[in-house]
Structure 1
Amino acid sequence: MALFNPYLHFTGNTEEAFNFYKSVLGGEFIKLVRYKDLAPAAEYAIPEPYLDKIMYIALPLGKNNMLLGSDAMLEHEGRKFTFGDNFHIAISAESKEEADHLFTGLSADGKIDMPIEDSSWGTYFGMLTDKFGVQWTVDFDPNL
């Protein structure tokens, strides 16, 4: 069965926020990827000010849950950043087949923001907004 986790977006202060959450909630980051770590960053047209920002961070919460986050580039993409809708529900599937099933089902009559496919950071990943306006990410990490 897939795991469901909150995925928070910030406007450049993800690292500060997650260090705060870590100080309160405990634990250690199990993954921290900066935009400059994408191979190659130019392929993704990452603006210079974002290269040192957080593309993905994961802080375990208890046995099977995580708090996930990133520095959103919404303004760069021509979208408005609004606190309150700055999150996704992240689903971590147990297989590519489960990820495809969940992604296809949730995106029906919705909007695919990023097609599900193998990513340069090693996961099978996609983003969508369902027909009710809820934002989702679906991934499968073969290394977990």
Structure 2
Amino acid sequence: MQEWTEDRCNLDIDIIALPGWSDATSKISLLMGDETQRPDIIWWWNMEADYTKWVDAGLLMDVSPYMKKYTNMVDYYNSVDPGVMFYASGDNGIYRIPGDVAEPACETLWIRKDWLDNLGLAVPTTLDELDELKEIHGKQVEDYQKYLEEYNK
């Protein structure tokens, strides 16, 4: 996807991998504070105080003109959750595009029916049955990892 986007849009993308959730906000704050390393695009979360400081300092761009020009973006968000654009907007513009919009395929538990069928298992209907599936899957992953370790020796 990175190469496709770079070719299609004539871009040079450097993806910065962030540390775990607990250290990521610190890393983003450090990057935003350093003019030479400040990213052009950030996947932002749970940093409302920092975000407000960045807006006030003029570090973020108002994207509302793009929202007006490319109405399909706003139409999409409104079709999923009409309130989502309200939360992305501020008094003096829109400085963030919503990311984690709940939709049928977002943050949903999926269990492959063919996997259940292969093991002769029924679709779980209780949390206890789901917990049993978790244990079965975990055991399969462990077994597969052991197989790979032996195979790669």
Which structure ranks higher in relative contact order (CA pairs < 8 Å, sequence separation ≥ 6)?
1
The normalised TM-score by structure 2 is 0.27
The normalised TM-score by structure 1 is 0.28
Larger radius of gyration between Structure 1 and Structure 2: 2
Higher strand share: 1
